[in-house]
């Protein structure tokens, strides 16, 4: 695998639009994606500035009718930067909303292998909530405030026009009803060699990501699963499906990305498999369904000020999938206060007692038992290193 220092300087980078109606996709939910691949073609370096992305003509698969070239409304553009402070009108491009369509970005990188990588806008994204046939905006790099460099990400912002002055008032494409921005995290970007041109723009053109940070991101990219985002700060929202017994989390720190699985966050143990005492056995019940937007917060411990304990606050319920009792729940009774409520801490039952769910970063466990809460320590470390209104 190549390191960031081995990234080849691309001679020409082209962005082509292509509408594809794949025969196997009938009946499936439409998905809109951005993608690109490296080509071996030797194109004159005068066609584009090295390290740029360029939109060209509309193409279709072999055997289908050719599409007209973009009109002035969907004109070609050359993306020279991912830095929001350096955007020009030529960095503006449109996404044409056609069912089962795919927009590909082709990268001409002499000497590189031919590859293709999708940067997908999920079918549940905010682009599907609009009545316009096309959306225009800017692809850009975002570094969250009070966060480590590994928390950087690429986003797509929809704007009213191609004037960069409209960028601050634009809206980022979101992944669904939760309103969380669609993004490509820096570790996910760095681990994919086919995305070398985007790495090159960030390192050598915009100089927003130092080379050693890109190397570090590449070394940690394997930690992420497909579609994983990285949490880095207290108060950072994430979606919590209430009907599942476990939830995967990835945390980005100063020099590492750590992943963990937290189990039974929204479940409680009764010690029996049914309502009667005769049905003995260990069992976890999940009485609720829906999706909540939540965040981690540090717990102020009155007895141990240095204790690192995290809790979960429920920010709001999603209108499209509200918090509610599971109509198919057939387990034991539970106190009404267990139901997650907006603005309050997520509660849990422990040996029949109601208390907030918490994760003890430094808690002592039995031998050969892994502390799954330990990765939450990154949130405390980042708060000390980069500052936080929540801690210390």
38-89 pLDDT, tens digit each: 222 222 222 333 344 444 433 333 333 344 444 434 444 467 889 999 999 9
Q: Is 29 exposed, middle or buried (0-12, 13-18, 19+ CB in 10 A)?
A: exposed
As a dihedral over the C-alpha atoms of residue 33, residue 36, residue 37, residue 41, rounded to 10 degrees, the angle is: 140
For residues 81 and 83, what is the distance between their CA atoms, to the nearest angstrom?
Answer: 5
As a dihedral over the C-alpha atoms of residue 347, residue 253, residue 227, residue 87, rounded to 10 degrees, the angle is: 120
| More confident of the two residues 383 and 19 | 383
pLDDT of 289 strictly over 60:
yes
| More confident of the two residues 98 and 330 | 330
The per-residue pLDDT for 140 is 95
> Which is it for strands 93-96 and 12-18: parallel, antiparallel or unpaired?
unpaired
For residues 137 and 163, what is the distance between their CA atoms, to the nearest angstrom?
Answer: 10
The per-residue pLDDT for 44 is 28
| More confident of the two residues 295 and 199 | 295
105: β partners: 15, 36
- Asked, as a colleague might, if the bond just before 278 is cis with ω within 30 of 0, I would say no
Q: Is 137 exposed, middle or buried (0-12, 13-18, 19+ CB in 10 A)?
A: buried
The per-residue pLDDT for 97 is 57
Predicted TM-score (pTM) of the model is 0.75
Tell me the pLDDT of the chain averaged across its residues. 74
For residues 193 and 353, what is the distance between their CA atoms, to the nearest angstrom?
Answer: 51
> What does 63-103 look like in DSSP terms, one character per residue?
TSPPPPPP-GGG---EE----GGG--GGG-EEEE--TT-EE
The per-residue pLDDT for 301 is 67
Q: What is the pLDDT of residues 196-215, one digit of tens each?
A: 778 888 999 999 999 999 99
**Residues 216, 224: contact at Cβ < 8 Å?**
no
Residue 19 corresponds to which tokens in the numbers above? 């509408």
Residue in the structure block whose two tokens are 């979101």: 174
Among 26-35, 125-134, 265-274, top mean pLDDT goes to 265-274
The per-residue pLDDT for 45 is 28
Q: What is the pLDDT of residues 223-279, one digit of tens each?
A: 887 666 899 999 999 999 998 888 999 999 999 999 999 988 988 876 554 454 445
SS3 content of the chain, % helix, strand, coil (to 5): 20, 30, 50
Q: What is the pLDDT of residues 164-181, one digit of tens each?
A: 999 999 999 887 767 889
The dihedral sign for the CA sequence 371, 229, 224, 248? positive
The per-residue pLDDT for 178 is 75
For residues 200 and 169, what is the distance between their CA atoms, to the nearest angstrom?
Answer: 28
pLDDT of 24 strictly over 70:
no
The per-residue pLDDT for 46 is 29
The per-residue pLDDT for 153 is 95
Quick one: what percent of the chain has pLDDT higher than 90? Answer: 42
């Amino acid at each position: 695998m190549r390191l960031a220092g081995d990234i080849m300087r691309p001679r020409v980078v082209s962005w082509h639009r292509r509408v594809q109606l794949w025969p196997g996709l009938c009946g499936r939910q439409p998905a809109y994606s951005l993608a690109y691949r490296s080509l071996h073609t030797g194109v004159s370096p005068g066609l584009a500035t090295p390290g740029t992305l360029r939109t060209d003509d509309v193409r279709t698969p072999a055997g289908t009718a050719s599409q007209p070239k973009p009109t002035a409304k969907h004109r070609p553009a050359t993306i020279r930067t991912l830095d929001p402070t350096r955007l020009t009108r030529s960095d503006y491009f449109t996404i044409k909303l056609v069912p089962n369509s795919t927009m590909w970005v082709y990268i001409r990188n002499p000497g590189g292998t031919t590859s293709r990588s999708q940067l997908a806008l999920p079918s549940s994204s905010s682009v599907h909530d609009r009545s316009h046939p096309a959306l225009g905006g800017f692809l850009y790099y975002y570094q969250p405030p009070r966060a480590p460099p590994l928390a950087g990400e690429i986003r797509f912002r929809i704007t009213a026009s191609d004037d960069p002055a409209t960028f601050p008032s634009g809206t980022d494409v979101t992944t669904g009803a939760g309103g969380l921005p669609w993004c490509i995290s820096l570790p996910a970007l760095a681990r994919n060699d086919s995305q070398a041109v985007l790495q090159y723009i960030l390192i050598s053109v915009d100089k927003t990501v130092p080379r050693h940070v890109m190397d570090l991101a590449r070394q940690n990219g394997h930690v992420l699963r497909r579609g994983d985002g990285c949490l880095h700060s207290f108060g950072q929202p994430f979606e919590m499906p209430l009907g599942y017994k476990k939830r995967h989390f990835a945390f980005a720190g100063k020099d590492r990305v750590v992943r963990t699985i937290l189990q039974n966050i929204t479940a409680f143990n009764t010690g029996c498999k049914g309502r009667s005492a005769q049905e003995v056995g260990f069992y976890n019940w999940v009485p609720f369904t829906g999706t909540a937007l939540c965040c981690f917060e540090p717990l102020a411990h009155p007895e141990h000020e240095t204790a690192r304990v995290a809790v979960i606050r429920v920010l709001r319920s999603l209108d499209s999938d509200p918090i509610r009792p599971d109509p198919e729940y057939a387990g034991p009774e539970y106190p009404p206060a267990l139901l997650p409520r907006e603005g309050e801490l997520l509660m849990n039952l422990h040996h029949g007692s109601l208390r907030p769910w918490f994760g003890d970063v430094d808690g002592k466990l039995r031998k050969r038992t892994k502390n799954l809460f330990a990765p939450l320590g990154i949130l405390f470390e980042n708060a000390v290193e980069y500052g936080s209104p929540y801690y210390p």
